[in-house]
Amino acid sequence: MIKKNFGLIGASGKMGKEISALLTEHNYDCVFRYDLSGEEFDNTPQVLIDFSLPEALEKSVGYSLKFNCPLIIGTTGLSNEQLIQLNQLGKKVAIVQSYNFSIGIQMLLKCTELLNNHLTDWDIEIEEIHHRFKKDKPSGTALMIKNVLNKDVNISSLRLGNVVGEHSVYFSGLGESLRITHQATSRRTFAEGVLKAVEFVQKKGNGFFTFHDVLFSK
Ligand code: NAD
């Protein structure tokens, strides 16, 4: 079987290691690595994956153009200007950008939209819990939930121990309440989403896509 390959930005990080392990199990070779310790080039990657920090975005965009390859980006805390930059890059190569690569969060977003449409006079709050090392606050996923609600709702951010990621949306009326919660118990779940995106993006010439497109577009 011919091996496929990929490049990884944030290769030495928690997510970088998880993605690398899963893709290697699926017959992909890591041929390019970039992180705070520098660059390692073995070959031109067919697809680039960035799970690092917003500070690395300029480099990621530059590498994607240099290698003329698609970019899958899960880095959170991007500014509006950086998201616009990625949209622009999508005119030249294919991009999948998402602050969350788990299937469960896509389901939580759908449920949130439904409840928001029906419970118009209920109070709504978002809560997110992550490990103590997380740099951005609130989480990118909490911002995705807020975006679906399309309202100025409060987000509470807790930083506790080694929690991989937990998001809850609270809906409360007078006399009853409802809460939906998603818990990521392993980073492997995000890596599995990235693998789906890697397979999706290689069939696209260019364009800006989300993980929702990866899961649900025909
Ligand atoms: P980590 O701290 O363990 O790893 C960060 C990596 O980025 C390291 O390899 C580090 O060397 C590299 N890095 C940091 N600054 C850099 C810079 N200026 N230039 C180049 N490389 C740089 O973090 P992590 O837990 O692996 O998370 C990485 C990113 O992925 C974060 O933004 C996190 O929020 C995000 N994340 C996204 C999802 C998702 O589904 N979209 C899931 C989990 C984490």
Q: Are residues 48 and 37 in the same domain?
A: yes
| Dihedral angle computed from the Cα positions of residues 206, 207, 213 and 214, in that order, rounded to the nearest 10 degrees | 30
pTM recorded for the entire structure: 0.96
Extract the tokens encoding 24: 């290697």
From the alpha carbon of 98, which atom of ligand 1 is closest?
Answer: 41
- Classify strands 165-172 and 154-159 as parallel, antiparallel or unpaired: unpaired
Ligand 1 neighbourhood includes 51 CB (under 6 angstroms) = yes
Ligand 1 neighbourhood includes 200 CB (under 6 angstroms) = no
Q: Are residues 119 and 167 in the same domain?
A: yes
Q: Domain range holding 18?
A: 4-100+188-216
Average pLDDT over residues 192-214: 96
**pLDDT tens readout for residues 86-114:** 999 999 999 999 999 999 999 999 999 99
Mean of the per-residue pLDDT values of the chain: 97
Q: Are residues 41 and 84 in the same domain?
A: yes
Instruction: State yes or no: pLDDT of 142 exceeds 90.
Output: yes
Banded pLDDT at 72 (limits 50, 70, 90): very high
Extract the tokens encoding 75: 């880095």
Cβ atoms of 7 and 32 within 8 Å: the answer is yes
Q: Are residues 59 and 158 in the same domain?
A: no
Instruction: State yes or no: pLDDT of 1 exceeds 70.
Output: no
Q: Are residues 94 and 167 in the same domain?
A: no
Instruction: State yes or no: pLDDT of 176 exceeds 90.
Output: yes
Cβ atoms of 185 and 60 within 8 Å: the answer is no
Q: Are residues 45 and 76 in the same domain?
A: yes
Ligand 1 neighbourhood includes 204 CB (under 6 angstroms) = no
Average pLDDT over residues 19-47: 97
**7 phi/psi in degrees, rounded to 5:** -115, 150
Strand order in the sheet with 71-73: 38-41, 28-35, 4-9, 48-50, 71-73, 94-97, 207-209
Give the separation between CA 192 and CA 174, rounded to whole angstroms.
41
**pLDDT tens readout for residues 40-58:** 999 999 999 999 999 999 9
- The number of domains in the chain is 2
From the alpha carbon of 13, which atom of ligand 1 is closest?
Answer: 4
pLDDT of the residue at 45: 97
Banded pLDDT at 218 (limits 50, 70, 90): confident
Which uninterrupted H or E stretch holds 22?
Answer: helix 14-25
Let me know if 118 is a catalytic residue: no
Q: Are residues 73 and 177 in the same domain?
A: no
| Beta-carbon count within 10 A of 91 CB | 10
The Å distance, Cα 191 to ligand 1 centre, comes to: 13
Q: Are residues 48 and 86 in the same domain?
A: yes
